[in-house]
Chains A and B, each alone.
Chain A
Amino acid sequence: TQLLEQSPQFLSIQEGENLTVYCNSSSVFSSLQWYRQEPGEGPVLLVTVVTGGEVKKLKRLTFQFGDARKDSSLHITAAQPGDTGLYLCLKGERNTGNQFYFGTGTSLTVIP
């Protein structure tokens, strides 16, 4: 059972373009983290959001947590080749025994 859906699954854009990727669930998150994974490496944390409606910025990356805490988005402004990678969201469920679920991932390629 896939508990976290990410979209799009694949995205290929030109350098300088903007993009948004999404992470959605049918149930409420206790918290949500975004990770980026480069080829041949393990995922690396980008941000953690815990409050509904929360917006966090990390340079050209803007993360938003939905008001109902069932969805999140990641917006990248003026994408660069260094942004290429697999973007994963991780959902925490504190009230169900500390379970952790990763999303399906969005594979981003930024073409120079």
Chain B
Amino acid sequence: DAGVIQSPRHEVTEMGQEVTLRCKPISGHDYLFWYRQTMMRGLELLIYFNNNVPIDDSGMPEDRFSAKMPNASFSTLKIQPSEPRDSAVYFCASSSLGLEETQYFGPGTRLLVL
């Protein structure tokens, strides 16, 4: 298996622009997680899905952030409009059976908003 795939790996954009991050989970995994990692706040869970349904989005910082999972093999995290404070590494992870199962992380998208 190729593991969790994220794209792009790096993104540099200007404040106010729309940013879309993409994730392909491991085939057969029922759970998909979006995390954000910064030096100041560490690794934060933004939202997670179970069987394509959002279960907990309490970590989404504000309305500028939205996430979708239209099918079992694809998810997006969108920021519109982007701000410099959104600069971070965004990770997608997937797992089977959820809570006590291994979360497999993608390589991350490094986002810089100027």
Q: List B contacts of A44 (CB < 8 A).
A: 105
Report whether B91 and A42 are in contact in the complex, using a CB–CB cutoff of 8 Å. Answer: yes
A50 at the interface (CB under 8 A from B): yes
Number of interface residues of A (CB under 8 A): 24
Stretch at the interface among A19-27, A53-61, A64-72, A100-108: A100-108
A96 smallest CB distance to B (angstroms): 10
Closest residue on chain B to residue A41 by CB atoms: B107
The residues of A with any CB-CB pair to B shorter than 8 Å are: 30-31, 33, 40-45, 48, 50, 88, 90, 92, 94, 97-105
Report whether B99 and A42 are in contact in the complex, using a CB–CB cutoff of 8 Å. Answer: no
Q: List B contacts of A94 (CB < 8 A).
A: 99
* 8 pairs, A vs B, C-beta closer than 8 Å: A31-B99, A31-B100, A41-B107, A42-B105, A42-B106, A45-B103, A90-B103, A101-B45
Given contacts A100-B33, A102-B45, contact A43 B105 (CB under 8 A): yes
Report whether A88 and B56 are in contact in the complex, using a CB–CB cutoff of 8 Å. Answer: no
Report whether B98 and A102 are in contact in the complex, using a CB–CB cutoff of 8 Å. Answer: no
A37 CA / B48 CA spacing, docked (Å): 20
8 Å CB contact of B43 from A40, A41, A88, A97: A88
Number of interface residues of B (CB under 8 A): 22
The residues of B with any CB-CB pair to A shorter than 8 Å are: 4, 33, 35, 42-45, 48, 55-56, 91, 93, 98-100, 102-108
A1 smallest CB distance to B (angstroms): 12
A98 CA / B103 CA spacing, docked (Å): 14
8 Å CB contact of B99 from A30, A41, A43, A102: A30
Report whether B42 and A99 are in contact in the complex, using a CB–CB cutoff of 8 Å. Answer: no
Report whether A45 and B91 are in contact in the complex, using a CB–CB cutoff of 8 Å. Answer: no
Q: List A contacts of B55 (CB < 8 A).
A: 97-98
A87 CA / B91 CA spacing, docked (Å): 16
A48 CA / B43 CA spacing, docked (Å): 18
